[in-house]
Structures are given as C-alpha cells and as structure tokens.
Structure 1
Amino acid sequence: MTDDAYLFLLDDVSAPLGMAPAAVEDLACMETPAVLAWLSAQGSTPTSPYLRLLPPEETAAIPETAERLPVPLSDEELSRVRHRMAPESLAQVEEELLAYRDCADGRDGLIGRALAAGVPPHRVVELTGVDPATVAAAASG
C-alpha cells in the first residue's frame, strides 16, 4: 500500500474502477504542473472519461498496464474521495457522521462561553446532553 492516491487511465470507460476526479470538486492536485504535464503526455484531459482516481488503500486494484501517477491529497480531499466512492447506504451514514462532526466542532469553546456567561453547569448538561465531566473539563480548560 502507498500513502498517495493515484490517477490512472483505463482502457475501458465502462470498468467500475475508481472514480472520475472531476466528480470530486476542487482537488488541488489537478491544477499542479506535474498532473497537467502527465495528462498532456498521455493525450488526456482532467475531464476525460478514462481518467480515474483511487485512494491509497485501493491502488493495488489498478491494472498493471494502466498509465498511473501518484498524487498527494489533503486529508479533507481524501475524505471527499472516499465518501464519493462509498456505496449509497454507507454514504448516508457518513453524511450523518460528518454533520455530527461539524456540529460538535468547537463544543468545548461553546460550553466555556456558556459557563462564562453564567449558565449553570447543570443547565449546560441538560441543554447539551454531554457528560457532566465534559462540562467540568471545558470549564477548566
């Protein structure tokens, strides 16, 4: 296994391997000189139906004969690629987990601000549903 995702070109567009990079918005690697030069050398474009992308854990599935290029992805980009490749049943649960992460982000800061504003700790516990120890930890840090 490698730490890089891979761009590669398929011979058959009907093969269900990988995903089109164009389906994942704003991949920084697609604008790099290395990727643009590789695409040009292959006679391809970023929107080619033959161009595919796989995350690091799945690159062993790339056919041996396929032209390929390792590309670094940020953690956020890699998360989006994995999410887009997930079956729909898993994608829905992933959406819920992402929503949870987004709403929980900054939780301790919010609890700290509530306590500083005078909301009693027991009321913070009632309103948020978090453990009283979490409220105490947010109050001290």
Structure 2
Amino acid sequence: MTDDAYLFLLDDASAASLGVSPAAVGDLACLETPAVRAWLDAHGSTPASPHLRLLPPEETAAIPEGAERLPVPLSDEELSRLRHRMAPEPFARIEGELLAYRDCAGGRDGLIGRALAAGVPPRRIVELTGVDPETVTAAANGSVERR
C-alpha cells in the first residue's frame, strides 16, 4: 500500500464508478501543482474531465492495469473528504453526522468555560449540553477533561 492517493485516467467514462471525480471532493491543492498540471496537459485532460478519477491510498490496487496514473499527496482534510465521497450512501449520511459532531464537540470545553464566565449556572449547562456535571465542575476549575 502506498501513502499517496492516485489520480488516474479511465479510457471509458462509463467505468466512472471507480474512484471519485476530483471535482466532487472539492478544492484539492495537488490539482494546482506544476506536476499535476503537466501530467494532465500531457494526457490532454483537465481536472473536470469525466475520465479523471481519484482513489485514496488504501484503494489504489483497484486502478485498472495500464491506466495512466499519478501519485498525489493529500492533506488529512482532503483525504477525509475523498473517503467520505467514496462511502456508500448510508455510510456517507452517518459519516456526515459524525463530522458535524466532531466540529461541534471540538469547541465544547471553550464553550463551557465561556458560559461559566458569563454566569450561566453549572446545572443549566448540564441541562443544555448533556455533559456530565463533573465535566462542568472541571471546566469551572480550569481542568476540563474529555469524556
């Protein structure tokens, strides 16, 4: 297995169920690099081509034999978006919920601290957030742990 994702070109756009269109993943820094631009130009392709596909490192063995391919590094966020786009619809929905939770919960400790500083009673913070009372107490003392 490689650590790089791969861009590759399919001969037949009808086989486009393999991988993901880079455009569907959103902005990818690698598409702006001279190496990728030169590779696309050499193959008469563009980032929007229906023949251009992208696979994460763990899936690159699925690239058809003989397909033109190029390893590309992706950031952790780009790789996460790619994997999300590749997930079957039921997984993609729940992954979306997990990502929303991560984004929301990531600022939990700071939010609890701001609420306490604003004078919101700890019992009300527990009611509104569903966190353990010990977590709110720890935040009041400046030593919040993740639960």
Q: How does the TM-score come out when normalised to structure 1?
A: 0.92
How many angstroms does 1:123 deviate by?
2.2
Superposed CA deviations along residues 101-124 of structure 1, whole A, max 9, x for unmatched, are 222221100101111222232221
Structure 2: 5+ residue stretches without partners: none
Alignment root-mean-square deviation, CA: 1.4
Q: 2 CA distance for matches of 1:22 and 1:73? A: 14
Instruction: Give the fraction of aligned pairs with identical amino acids, expressed as a percent.
Output: 82
Q: Which runs of 5+ in 1 are unaligned?
A: none
In the other structure, the counterpart of 1:7 is: 7
Number of positions where the alignment pairs a residue of Structure 1 with one of Structure 2:
141
Which residue is 1:42 aligned to? 43
**Runs of 4+ in structure 1 displaced over 6 angstroms?**
none
Q: Distance in 1 between matches of 2:106 and 2:128?
A: 17
Distance (Å, rounded) in 2 between the aligned partners of 1:134 and 1:2: 41
Deviations 1:54-109 (A, max 9, x none): 01110111123111111111111111111111111111111111221222221100
Structure-2 residue corresponding to 1:53: 54
Matches within 5 A, 1:1-141: 1-15=1-15, 16-139=17-140, 140-141=142-143
Paired residue type of 2:6: Y
Deviation at 1:18, TM superposition (A): 0.6
| TM, length-normalised to structure 2 | 0.88
